[in-house]
Amino acid sequence: MINNNGRFSEETRKKVEKVISETGYETNDVAKSLRMQKSNTIGILIPDISSSFFSKVVKKIEAFLFSKGYSTIICNTDRNADKENAYLRMLEGKMIDGLIVISGVKAFGLDSMSKNIPVVCIDREPRDKETILIESNHFQGAFLATEAMIQKGSRKIAIIVQREYLSSSRDRINGYCQALEDYSLPFSQEQIIRLPDVIEPSRTELAKAALLARFKKGQRFDGAFAINDRLAIGAVQAALENGLTIPSEFRVMGFDNDSISKYCQPKLSTINQDSTGIAEKASQALLSLIETPTKKVARHQVIDVELIVRETI
């Protein structure tokens, strides 16, 4: 009767409601989950909650799922495999109905969990090729960024990379290389500036120091494509400190359209990812797996990106 199920007289209903009011009774959600085998809870693994792009995606996923009657448990893994496995075991104990995995350190699998649950990956290769993957068109974005600099006059463009093991990073490198090839521009390994995968110092400081070191060695570039905006801002700072004028002597493109990109000086040109589209497609795909598992869902969905031209090209 508490759930408005069954047939009861009005007198019985009033008596039960009076007892509920007097005792402060509340439904035991854990017991209900055990009985129904459904918790209406979704787990979300995020590698870096300080990332502007990841935070936007998670916020939109949470809002979408909440509107559909689901609560979320958000777990920040810091790209630490042990921490990720611990969270997966905890989420299994919470009897989550599904899981959304955003980026991370390696291809994703459910090895640390005792049972399979519906999973959707965002920007992270799943080991099981049947798992749904939602991602931006990273290749397209890198191509557009590099092409924009070439069309403005750049001929020797460096690429600044970190966490090359990520599938999204590899796609961005490939898009950069394809643009150089299509415009018949030479490419050499010295154009790749690889940064260590560390937390401190900041990504911006790492990129700035690495590019300044190249300048001091006598290497000359007239542009830099960085695979995220924080690295791109470091490139801007290095070019200015080296006495180069932006954009006439040195052009910079970032990726992600981080909120800081339009407030730095000069304002950063970048690639915008459709955080709303990614969040909605990932959420809809997961709910389809949970609520209508026989329904076919596209296993690989690629979302277009957009070139944002500001003051650095």
Token look-up 């995995």 returns 101
Whether residue 309 contacts residue 271, with contact meaning beta carbons closer than 8 Å, is answered with: no
Q: Is the pLDDT of residue 32 over 50?
A: no
User: Cα–Cα distance between 130 and 50 in angstroms, integer?
Assistant: 30
Q: Is the pLDDT of residue 106 over 70?
A: yes
- Cβ-proximal residues to 220 (8 Å cutoff; 6+ apart), any chain: 156
Nearest CA to 260 among 57, 50, 61?
A: 50
Q: Which of 13-27, 49-63, 244-258, 272-286 has the lowest mean pLDDT?
A: 13-27
The pair of structure tokens assigned to 250 is: 């040195």
Whether residue 303 contacts residue 274, with contact meaning beta carbons closer than 8 Å, is answered with: yes
pLDDT digits (tens, 9 = 90+) for 145-199: 999 999 999 999 999 999 998 889 999 999 999 999 999 999 999 999 999 988 7
Show the domains of the chain with their CATH numbers: 1-28 (no CATH), 29-136+276-304 (3.40.50.2300), 138-272 (3.40.50.2300)
Beta strands in 240-280 (DSSP E): 251-253, 270-272
The pair of structure tokens assigned to 124 is: 């992270």
Token look-up 């007198």 returns 11
Partners of 222 in the β-ladder = none
In three-state secondary structure terms, 199 is coil
pLDDT digits (tens, 9 = 90+) for 67-103: 999 999 999 999 898 999 999 999 999 999 999 999 8
The pair of structure tokens assigned to 205 is: 């400081």
Whether residue 99 contacts residue 121, with contact meaning beta carbons closer than 8 Å, is answered with: no
Nearest CA to 238 among 254, 255, 252?
A: 252
Q: Is the pLDDT of residue 27 over 70?
A: no
Amino acid at 145: A
- Cβ-proximal residues to 73 (8 Å cutoff; 6+ apart), any chain: 41, 42, 43, 44, 91, 94, 96
128 phi/psi in degrees, rounded to 5: -85, 115
For 117, 133, 170, 253, 301, the CA distances from 128, given in Å and listed in that order, are: 13, 10, 20, 34, 16
